[in-house]
Amino acid sequence: MNFNIALLPGDGTGPEVVAQAVKAVDAVCKKFGHTVSYTKGLVGACAIDATGDPFPEETFQTCLKSDAVLFGAVGDPRYDNNPTAKVRPETGLLAMRKKLGLFANLRPMETYKSLVDKSPLKPELVDGAEFLCIRELTGGMYFGEKGRRDNGNTAYDTNIYSRHEIERILKLAFEYAQRRRKHLTVVDKANVLESSRLWREVAQEMAPKYPDVQTDYMFVDNAAMQIVRFPKFFDVLVTENTFGDILTDEASVIAGSMGLLASASIGEHTSLFEPIHGSYPQAAGKNIANPLATILSAAMMFEYAFGLMEEGKAIRRAVNQSIEEAYVTEDLAAGGRSYSTSEVGDWVAAHI
């Protein structure tokens, strides 16, 4: 096959980690006889610097024309402590999600036997834990009406969801649960929020259509507790945009490093693949960031966007091997030697 991939390295360590994923993609394509071409695009702070727009039209067109988008991260400390900034790197990410219709964000939480001691949780809680967080990505408070009144002294964000938005994400969640261990946990705050009550109403209407799936309902505060108290409880967890943002950061520490978790965003147009760790600006340019999450995002790209499971597996196998043989960046090195971002990227590509 021939693939056109949009490369959006973004800010901070984004370019360094995306470069390693490209090595893995090239290696897999060579191994399986595919051809691949890349088109680069700007997003985030680098796009603001170059064009004034965090998600320029040109980048959008590049994404639309591609078979998949491989994305690094956006964010820049210049904006973080400036609440009055009119344009922000994150606005570019949100615009990209909205314009590409990426309503579902899949964030698998995976653990690695050789890393259970890196986790802040007890090894027996971590070993064997594995679940999929499905976060709604284009609705809720992120996109609801927001503003100020009272001379700027009162601020509001609206947590708004339509039945259609809830149904399509829940449908996906039920289907993923059917293909996995058939256990779905719908996370909301239906004891307080009207939007959550609609989520629960819709979920309860849909559940009988999936009799093979055991569906349960959990309030988000309780879910935050259960994720660290007994992560093995979860198989598929589905929730709204804001809750999903928070719970997936929480879930990411179970594995031992945020630098391991990949994600896929899928929806109406081209799907997008990215590490969940963000731009990590303190490490930018130092060649120390863990590239494995981005490399694993490339594996998800083969599996989810192209339906090529063997290619995905070849990448995962090499990543597992690098972890087992401790050929890893400093965040994962257990007292032993650590390797640079590009060394790990080369090693993984060579082992594919």
Q: How far is the CB of 135 from Mg ion (least distance, A)?
A: 9
Tell which one of 67, 90, 110, 127 touches ligand IPM (CB under 6 A). Answer: 90
Q: Which two tokens stand for residue 257?
A: 């490093």
- State how far the Cα of 176 lies from the Cα of 266, in Å rounded to an integer: 13
Q: Using alpha carbons, select from 169, 143, 142 the residue that is nearest to residue 267.
A: 169
Q: How far is the CB of 249 from Mg ion (least distance, A)?
A: 5
- The one of Mg ion, ligand IPM, none whose footprint includes residue 9, by CB under 5 to 8 A per kind, is none
Helix (H) or strand (E) holding 143: none
Residues labelled as active-site residues = 142, 189, 221, 245, 249
Closer residue to ligand IPM, CB minimum distance, 3 or 41? 41
- State how far the Cα of 278 lies from the Cα of 294, in Å rounded to an integer: 11
Closer residue to ligand IPM, CB minimum distance, 118 or 135? 135
49 part of the interface to ligand IPM, by CB under 6 A: no
CA distances from 244 to 165, 228, 287, 316, 349 (A): 15, 15, 30, 25, 32
- State how far the Cα of 314 lies from the Cα of 94, in Å rounded to an integer: 32
- State how far the Cα of 100 lies from the Cα of 335, in Å rounded to an integer: 43
- The one of Mg ion, ligand IPM, none whose footprint includes residue 167, by CB under 5 to 8 A per kind, is none
- The one of ligand IPM, Mg ion, none whose footprint includes residue 275, by CB under 5 to 8 A per kind, is none
93 part of the interface to ligand IPM, by CB under 6 A: yes
The mark string for 243-262 relative to Mg ion (x by CB under 5 A, - otherwise) is --x-----------------
Residues 226-245 that bind ligand IPM (CB under 6 A): 245
Coil vs helix vs strand at 219: strand
Q: What does the DSSP assignment read for 57-69?
A: HHHHHHHHHSSEE
Residues 14-43 that bind ligand IPM (CB under 6 A): none
* Cβ contacts of 335 within 8 Å, gap of 6 or more: none
Strand partners of residue 3 = 36
- The one of ligand IPM, Mg ion, none whose footprint includes residue 127, by CB under 5 to 8 A per kind, is none
Closer residue to Mg ion, CB minimum distance, 215 or 252? 252
Interaction site with ligand IPM (CB under 6 A): 75, 90, 93, 245
Interaction site with Mg ion (CB under 5 A): 245
